């Protein structure tokens, strides 16, 4: 099997986040193979080669805040995209207890 790059592994995880759900940077990092890659996830999403199929707007901080450097229009646009998918907010943050994606790592392989 061909070795995937870190970015490819991250993109593969992010593609699986369903509409109406979010994942944290750390969660994506862990599912991509290294829980210490949270910053790498940010770098990868900032360079997202295909926003149409890699829904980077579904990745937020662990406490539900928008990405301060959301590459496709800023945090306000990220929030609008999530609201359009039905994600709930309280005090400007995603309600993580309700909208965080619960993924079994076996589902990714």
Catalytic residue among 22, 31, 45, 56: 56
SS (H, E, C) 20-84: CCEEEHHHHHHHHCCCCCHHHHHHHHHCCCCCCCCCHHHEECCCCCCCCCCCCCCHHHHHHHHHH
- Residue for token digits 């862990």? 30
Q: How far apart are the first and last CA of the chain?
A: 13
User: Does 56 participate in catalysis according to the annotation?
Assistant: yes
Residues annotated as catalytic (active site), given as ranges: 56
């Amino acid at each position: 099997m061909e070795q995937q790059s870190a970015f490819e592994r991250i993109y593969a995880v992010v593609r699986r986040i369903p509409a109406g759900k979010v994942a944290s940077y750390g969660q994506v990092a862990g599912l991509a193979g290294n829980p210490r890659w949270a910053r790498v996830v940010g770098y990868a999403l900032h360079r997202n080669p295909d926003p149409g199929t890699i829904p980077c707007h579904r990745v937020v901080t662990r406490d539900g805040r928008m990405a301060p450097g959301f590459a496709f229009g800023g945090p306000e646009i990220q929030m609008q995209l999530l609201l359009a998918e039905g994600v709930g907010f309280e005090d400007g943050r995603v309600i993580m207890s309700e909208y965080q994606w619960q993924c079994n790592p076996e589902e990714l392989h």
